[in-house]
Chain A
Amino acid sequence: MSKLFFDHLLQLKDVDKHIKKIAKTAEEREELWGLIDEIVHHKVMGCILDNLPRQHHEEFLEMFHTSPHDEELLFTYLRRKVGENIEGLIKQEIGGLAAELLGEIKS
């Protein structure tokens, strides 16, 4: 089982379409997916930490470390500390990243 609490916000299907066009084998495709995953995780975490006041960082990181999959627990916490729009902010970050990645892939 592998699930992250923000998985439901990830919508990079156009990026995936391009990867599928370029990768010829499943191994190549999965390697490229892994690289995108690494970028996504850092971007999403950066977005959260940018908006979460510094004094709550450690508490959030402990919760994330213990239950990285727990959507309900982590988003309830973030809504309380950041605000109701946290999911919107992450979506916005993902949207920007998608455009950035598509630019990289196509250039």
Chain B
Amino acid sequence: MSHDLPTTTYKINIERVDTEFLRNKLKLKSLEVKKNFTQRYPHVEKFFTDRGIDLGKIRDHSAKVIATGALTGTLLFAPPMGVKNLPQLTQAIKDVSDGQTNSPNIPFQELLLKNLHAILPQKIGPLDRSTEKSLEQVFQQIIGINARAGLEGEHLNTTYGYIGAEQHLMRYPGDTMATHPKLPEKDEGMAPGRGAWGYVPKENETWYAVVQTLYLPDWNTRQPYLRDWYKYRKVLIVNTINGNAVIANIADAGPAAFTGKQFGGSPEVMNYLGGPRYKKGPVIIFFVDDPDNKVPLGPVEYNEVNMPGVALTQV
């Protein structure tokens, strides 16, 4: 005689098991690594313990150190090597105005790149406030977008970093690439999991960006405000190699710090920034100051003319 299997015992969520299985494995691995470390370096373990720091969570300590430095007005980061000094930045801004008023034949893209080269440091990483201010003016005058590094008191961990290719996000339960719009070439497919804000409405999915909200120092303490503030927040993304610019909205959190990237872009965003083969590159990301919601998502075609040697859509 056959019976139905007891549901509580046998209806196991396989996906859940996969995650838990991996979590347990990583937990074990983490414990093993920590144990080995403590055995080899008891003096280092003591050093951190005495200061109330867990080496595994050293990012939290880094966040506190940097936030304290910023609050007390000390230099958060040394002035970047590439940023020479303020007069030169001022000259860069002046060049923008001159380009608009006196030299209408200079392609805006060339003008933007010239200014970016003058303003940006050689090393890709967090920018100081004066550099960000200069960039805000450059973007306003050349690209015509009112973009801010900090908006309503919020600021990303870094505004200058590497963007990496992300996959399409699910728009509703059961969404698949069979019905999802895709790129004609080298499409990334669909992410198996949902975005940080769940399913992403169609109008937000095409031009979306990913930022590291999870590493914000106050992410855990200022909920749900920050979660709401970042949800579908518009950002201007500028490829610093070719000057391509796109407006996207934030629809997911990441990438993980250990990937070496700080931002992510939807397949459409990445395709516009650098073409179908563009999977990683340096960009600037600023919030769009758009209280009336008038700035549309998608490419910012501020310059239809390609500059010699640097194609508009290919790095």
Q: Which residues of A contact B (CB under 8 A)?
A: 1-4, 7-13, 15-16, 19-26, 28-33, 35-43, 45-46, 49, 57-58, 61, 65-69, 71-72, 101, 104-105
Contact = CB atoms under 8 A, between A and B. Distances in A.
Interface stretch (B55-63, B101-109, B285-293, B304-312): B55-63
Given A41-B56, A57-B44, A68-B61, A3 B66 contact: yes
Given A7-B257, A45-B55, A1 B126 contact: yes
A3 B41 contact: no
A4 B19 contact: no
B19 A42 contact: no
A64 to B, nearest CB: 9
Interface string B238-259: 0000000000000011111111
B192 interface: yes
20 contacts: A1-B66, A1-B76, A1-B158, A3-B126, A10-B259, A10-B260, A15-B258, A22-B192, A23-B193, A24-B15, A25-B194, A26-B252, A26-B253, A36-B26, A68-B58, A69-B65, A69-B77, A71-B123, A71-B125, A101-B29
A13 B259 contact: yes
B226 interface: no
Nearest to B20: A28
Contacts of A13: 164, 259-261
A51 to B, nearest CB: 13
The SS class assigned to the A binding surface is helix
B25 interface: yes
A21 B67 CA distance: 34
Contact of A39 (B30, B157, B164): B30
B258 A37 contact: yes
A8 B257 CA distance: 9
Contact of A3 (B25, B40, B158): B158
A45 B260 CA distance: 18
A42 B34 contact: yes
Given A38-B33, A72-B78, 20 more contacts: A1-B157, A2-B59, A2-B217, A12-B258, A12-B259, A13-B260, A15-B258, A24-B15, A24-B192, A26-B194, A26-B253, A37-B56, A37-B57, A42-B33, A49-B40, A65-B53, A66-B65, A67-B65, A71-B123, A104-B25
A57 B42 CA distance: 12
A1 B161 CA distance: 13
A28 B15 CA distance: 11
Centre residue among B29, B214, B252, B256 by max chain A CB count within 10 A: B256
Centre residue among B36, B62, B164, B194 by max chain A CB count within 10 A: B62
B56 A104 contact: no
